[in-house]
Amino acid sequence: MSYLHSRPSDVDKEGCIQRITTKKANWDYVEFEVHTLSKGQSKTFLSNDQETCMVFETGLAKVETNTESWPSVGERMSVFDKKAPYSVYTPPKDKITVTALTHLEVAICRAPAIGIYPTRLIQPSDCSYELRGSGTNQRHVCNILFANMEAEKLLVVEVITPNGNWSSYPPHKHDSDNFPEETSLEETYYHKLNPEQGFAFQRIYTDDRSIDETIAVEHNSVVMVPEGYHPVGAPHGYELYYLNVMAGPSREWVFKNDPAHEWIIEQNK
């Protein structure tokens, strides 16, 4: 089993199904968790010295922070509804208390921060939605906390890849701190399949092949990308969703395509 793959797991006593720490990933910036709550259940999440973007994957919740409260956050009941999610951003030293109004799944995206930006609700109308690519490289991209919203380190985006299609493709990387040519960003992929019994493939490889892993991801898998190219393919019959979290020394997404496959872009122009 690849050390870059956090396999789906049963819910632990804290309601957590995925937990990626900087220690587990052996990197410096991105931390990621997924929690489920039953209707009526409450849970508080602390920011400490990190900024947090809590993405409401599915379900409805009452949300309270140190400075804000919202009686009902959320809308979609499936990540495959092709609706942008609701999210809540908090700076360090804030907290988020959620009370589930329905069965709830939340993804918690974190990165180091000093506290420049205030707590705020990110509504679906704040997100930018785009159709990217063509043919079997077409996918639906929703920017949650990207160029559409300010943050210190975090970049958060979700993607739906139709069955039989590829995304994060042609293969690209962002592991060199060499702005404006390229930036260094750690990245997690939180995968979901529709139907849930499906699988998809993700490859992570570097130019020198010091990393060269091909992972069969399942529903609720997390893949860690410390460096290298990282394309994803969805088999026929299975729609693929993933939530990306990125962070690094600077909050700029500047990537480099694998030169061996860059001809694909030129051909499609």
Per-residue pLDDT reduced to its tens digit, 133-184? 889 999 999 999 998 899 999 999 999 999 999 999 999 999 999 999 999 9
- Model pTM above 0.95: yes
The predicted-structure confidence for 35-51, as pLDDT tens digits, reads as follows 999 999 999 999 899 99
Q: Tell me: the pLDDT tens digits for 103-122?
A: 999 999 999 999 999 999 99
Token pair listed for 156:
């958060």
Tokens of 244: 């990306």
**Whole-angstrom Cα distance, residue 211 to residue 192?**
24
Q: Which residues pair with 160 in a beta bridge?
A: 140, 241
pLDDT reading at 69 higher than 80: yes
Q: What's the domain count of the chain?
A: 1
Cβ(117)–Cβ(52) under 8 Å? no
Q: Report the pLDDT value the prediction gives residue 268, as an integer from 0 to 100.
A: 64
Identify the sign of the CA torsion 235, 217, 104, 122.
negative
Give the residue, 2 or 227, on which the prediction is more confident: 227
Mean of pLDDT over the chain: 95
SS3 260: helix
pLDDT-derived band at 269 (thresholds 50, 70, 90) equals low
CATH number at residue 62: 2.60.120.10
Identify any residues that bridge with 189 across adjacent strands, giving them in sequence order. Answer: 223, 244
Q: Please report which confidence band the pLDDT of residue 11 belongs to, taking 50, 70 and 90 as the band edges.
A: confident
Query: 229 φ, ψ to 5°?
Result: -80, 150
| Domain hosting residue 55, numbered range | 5-268
Distance CA 180, CA 52 (A): 26
